[in-house]
């Protein structure tokens, strides 16, 4: 017998090589869930990517397979991508700090200069 293929799937499942494909339709691969993982207790959860899943339980299962391998994860969150609201990079200027607001920076407060000056003044009396 001539071996048709080295792939056991070809022979055992009797896969036809030339069969036309019934194309995948919209949502064939379900919707997406965004995945957040925690690498260690005490750390914050971080966004790592997404999975396609039919519901949250299965999203967690797939997230464990894709993002939780090799012991680099202790906890996972998933949320539907459609439930995440995000700011637009075009509006990034809302985060810009104005220079006049330096009174909010610790470096703005230079008490030592005043204390030093005060002490020098006292000594000279």
Partner 1 sequence: MYGNAYIDPDQTPNKLTQDEDPARLAEFEARIEGGDKIEPKDWMPKEYRKQLIRMIEQHAHSEIIGALPEGTWITRAPGFRRKLALMAKVQDEVGHAQLLYSAAETLGKSREEMINDLISGKSKYSNVFNYPAETWADTAIISWLIDAGAIVNQLANSKGSYGPYCRALERICVEESFHLKYGHDNVVFLATGTKTQREMVQDALIRWWKPVMHFFGPSDNISVHTKTLMKWKVKMASNDEMRQTFLNMYVPKIWDLGLVIPDPNLKKNESTGLWEYTEPDWEEFKRVINGDGPCNKERLAVRKYAEEKGRWVRKALLRKDAEYVTPLV
Residue by residue, DSSP assigns 18-79 as: SPPP-PPPTTTT-EEEEEEEESSTTSPPEEEEEEEESSHHHHHHHHHHHHSGGG--SEEEEE
Residue 88 vs 120, nearer CB to partner 1: 88
- Contact map string, positions 45 to 84, toward partner 1, x by CB under 8 A: --xxxxxx-xx--x------xx--xx----------xx-x
Min. distance of Cβ 37 from partner 1 in angstroms? 11
Q: Which residues touch 44 (CB under 8 Å, ≥6 apart)?
A: 38
The contact set with partner 1 (CB under 8 A) reads 5-10, 13, 15-19, 21-32, 34, 47-52, 54-55, 58, 65-66, 69-70, 81-82, 84, 86, 88-89
């Amino acid at each position: 017998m001539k071996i048709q293929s080295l792939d056991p799937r070809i022979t055992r499942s009797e896969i036809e090589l030339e069969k036309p494909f019934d194309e995948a339709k919209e949502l064939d691969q379900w919707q997406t869930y965004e995945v957040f993982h925690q690498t260690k207790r005490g750390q914050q959860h971080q966004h790592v990517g997404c999975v396609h899943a039919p519901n949250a339980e299965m999203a967690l299962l797939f997230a464990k397979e894709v993002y939780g391998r090799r012991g680099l994860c202790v906890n996972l969150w998933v949320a539907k991508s459609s439930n995440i609201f995000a700011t637009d990079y075009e509006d990034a200027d809302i985060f810009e700090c104005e220079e006049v607001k330096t009174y909010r920076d610790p470096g703005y407060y230079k008490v030592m200069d005043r204390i030093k000056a005060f002490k020098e003044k006292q000594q000279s009396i």
